[in-house]
Amino acid sequence: MKKICVFGSLNIDMTIFVPHFNAPGETLTGTGMSIFTGGKGGNQAVACARLGAPVKMIGCLGDDANGGMYYDTLVKEGVDVSGLRRCENITSGIAFIEVVPEGENRIALAVGANGLLTPEVARDSEAAIAECGVYMTQLENPLEAIMEGMRIAHDHGVTVVLDPAPARPLPDQIFGLCDIVTPNETELNILTGMPTDTVDEAVAAARSLIARGAKLVLNKRGAAGVLLVTADECRMIPGFKVEAVDTTAAGDSFNAGLAVGLADGLAIDDAIRLANATGAISTTRLGAQPAMPTREQAEALIKAQA
Ligand code: RIB
């Protein structure tokens, strides 16, 4: 299997399980609390490692106790941490997450050391990026660093997967550096300013990203599955039926399954099935990284619902 490189964010997730999302000014008593290692980049890296892929993480942790705890977790999970920076006099990223009984979440983020990821960090990792088969990135770090990493990967012919989360309007150039963009419906709407509620609307919005340079758009549509859109084809690849308890990091898990499938040489439809299964299983367990499945578990779900 080819190597995977993840360039992105690392947060400590403070998750409170609440009966409902609280209203402004309301003090709400939760039913439990957990501290998980999270952040979209770290989640993708750990999910790739759980699926059995060789994966390198490039990102920034603070010099606080949380940073040390996160570093040790990545080592234990088998992630290559040689691209990690421990930044001085700053805290690691923190996410406050509320999860309701239906499994939906709300996240508030303090980026901390993630804000110190620079284009120089990407350039320092050029040799490591060049030897990977798949390069994954997201939007929780400064855009100039994200784009520099993508440019390096793109110039070396590495397959670039952009998870445009948390979504924000982006410059056109970024899409020309992407092989695959994986927005959910809300993210696709924010990226394009176009409606995405129906499949026809989502196809039109995805095609507008293709006009801006993206080669393949995979629109994650929750339990319904994934809408694959290129310049000349569009089709749905159905998802899997599971009982969701916490959807945190479902998108990160999806992207990891996709990257592992591609790094393993699977055809795109099979890689998307692995992605769908990885994302679906992650929603059946609490937390971000504790919820990530092994390759055997993901393949068992694919087989069970074939
Ligand atoms: O995608 C889920 C992640 O978003 C959480 O782990 C949290 O840290 C935020 O980055």
Q: Is 250 inside any structural domain? A: yes
Total-model pTM: 0.96
- pLDDT value for 17: 94
Q: Average pLDDT of the chain? A: 96
Q: Does 11 sit in the ligand 1 pocket, CB within 6 Å?
A: yes
Burial class (CB in 10 A: 0-12, 13-18, 19+), 141: buried
Print the domain residue range for 171.
4-9+40-70+77-86+116-304
**Arithmetic mean of pLDDT, 33-58:** 97
DSSP letters for 159-220: EEEE---S-----HHHHHT-SEE--BHHHHHHHHSS--SSHHHHHHHHHHHHHTT-SEEEEE
Q: Is 103 inside any structural domain? A: no
Predicted confidence (pLDDT) per residue in 200-239, tens digit? 999 999 999 999 999 999 999 988 999 999 999 999 999 9
% of the chain exceeding 70 in pLDDT: 100
Task: Report which protein residue has its CA nearest ligand 1's atom 6.
Answer: 38
Q: Is 97 inside any structural domain? A: no
State the CATH number of the domain containing residue 182.
Answer: 3.40.1190.20
Predicted confidence (pLDDT) per residue in 150-183, tens digit? 999 999 999 999 999 999 999 999 999 999 999 9
pLDDT classification of 127: cutoffs 50, 70, 90: very high
Q: Is 35 inside any structural domain? A: no
Cα 231 to ligand 1 centre (Å) = 31
The candidate with the shortest Cα–Cα distance to 39, out of 100, 103, 121, 114, is: 114
Does pLDDT of 196 surpass 90? yes
Q: How far apart are CA 256 and CA 259, in angstroms?
A: 5
**Arithmetic mean of pLDDT, 103-132:** 96
Instruction: Give CA 250 to chain center in angstroms.
Output: 8
Does pLDDT of 110 surpass 90? yes
Does pLDDT of 306 surpass 90? no
Q: Is 168 inside any structural domain? A: yes
| Catalytic residue check, 252 | yes
Does pLDDT of 192 surpass 90? yes
**Arithmetic mean of pLDDT, 72-77:** 98
**What HEC string does 68-108 produce?**
HHHHHHHHHHCCEEEEEEEECCCCCEEEEEEECCCCCEEEE
Q: How many independent structural domains does the chain possess?
A: 1
Does pLDDT of 114 surpass 90? yes
**Arithmetic mean of pLDDT, 136-155:** 98
Q: Is 108 inside any structural domain? A: no
Mutate to test the pocket of ligand 1, among 6, 16, 34, 40 (most ligand atoms within 8 A of CB): 40
**Arithmetic mean of pLDDT, 61-79:** 98
Task: Report which protein residue has its CA nearest ligand 1's atom 8.
Answer: 39
- pLDDT value for 249: 93
The C-alpha torsion from 250 through 13 and 150 to 153, rounded to 10°, is -80
Does pLDDT of 87 surpass 90? yes
Q: Is 177 inside any structural domain? A: yes
